Amino acid sequence: MSGLVEGKWVNGDVAAEEIKNGAFHREETKFRTTSLRAESGRYQLFVSWLCPWASRTLIFRKLKGLERIISLSVAEAKIGDNGWQFTAPQDAGEHVGPIRYLHQLYTASHARYTGKVSVPVLWDRKDGRIINNESADIIRILNHAFDDLTGNRDDFYPAPLRAQIDHWNDIIYPNINNGVYRTGFAKTQASYDEAVSALFSTLDIVEAHLAGQRYIAGEYLTEADWRLFVTLVRFDIAYHGAFKCNIRRIEDYPNLSNYLRELYQWPGVAETVNEQHIKTGYYGILWLNPTGIIPQGPAFDLRRPHDRDRLTGKGIMQR
């Protein structure tokens, strides 16, 4: 097991504690506060360019104009013997001071914490505690909590579209977002076959859906699109090879590949994607890739023109 046991770090096979009968089962996150007092400079986001869950929060921090409100600490691409670590000490506020390892935030929040240590973490520098480590919660916090400070009323979870957003999240998360992990971390042929089949069946469904819809929930860009995007942008460069998600590439899907390029080209989003970190991190998982060799390819350009303008799109709904 890799993680904390009664507040002590235990190093072992990454994700081994989440394998049951040869299949990957993601451990639930444990810090789930969803309300906070909006103050500039009080909160800090701990992330990795590698992680798709952290990528969601990076995108929302950018789209909501929170760069000056919420500070950022980015972990190294490879997960080390002490889990997520930082090249240089990160100041976590007066209660905790500088840290080198993410697990120090977990034990500062709960001295006898037991469980996985993961990014992203939304950290309260003033109180010295983790507010939330569940990306689905964090993006909704960022979507609305600081609007009065920034004046940004863009709403990625608008009330009129919530039923559609939730419907598609419930399809995309288990079969695509987590489906690539269920495929890549499978320890038996049967578990792999089940996961990879569900993954590509669902990609086929979304490909057909996007033939007539500009975005997942229709004409407006919502959180459902960004939740899907973070997996799509990692797919061909990492999951296809490192995780054996190789029935097809995203590039082989006309609608998904054009959709991916549109989202990547959305103002500010490309800055949240670090392709080299993504490849270094995934191919650096030595129990999946024992040689540690990082491939140079594939070669493709997400800045190429897309065709999504052929469909009606109204941008972002306002609160």
Residues placed in the known binding site: 84, 116-119, 134-135
* Beta-carbon count within 10 A of 204 CB: 13
Cβ–Cβ under 8 Å, residues 124 and 36: yes
Residues 6 or more apart from 60 whose CB is under 8 A from it? 66, 138, 139, 142, 143, 156, 226
The encoded tokens of residue 87 equal 């090249």
Residue numbers in the known binding site for glutathione are 84, 116-119, 134-135
Q: Which long-range contacts (CB under 8 A, 24 or more apart) does 272-277 make?
A: 272/55, 272/58, 272/59, 272/62, 273/49, 273/55, 273/233, 274/49, 275/237, 276/77, 277/48, 277/49, 277/50, 277/77
Q: Is 51 a catalytic residue?
A: yes
Minimal CA–CA distance to 157: which of 223, 215, 64? 223
The pair phi, psi for residue 162, each rounded to 5°, is -60, -35
| Annotated catalytic residue, options 181, 192, 215, 259 | 181
Chain-centre distance for alpha carbon 161: 22
The pair phi, psi for residue 21, each rounded to 5°, is 55, 40
Minimal CA–CA distance to 173: which of 118, 210, 216? 216
Peptide bond into 120 cis (omega under 30): yes
SS3 at position 117: coil
The pair phi, psi for residue 3, each rounded to 5°, is 155, -165
Give ∠ CA 258-60-51 in degrees, rounded to 5: 75
Cβ–Cβ under 8 Å, residues 119 and 102: yes
Q: Which residues are catalytic?
A: 51, 181
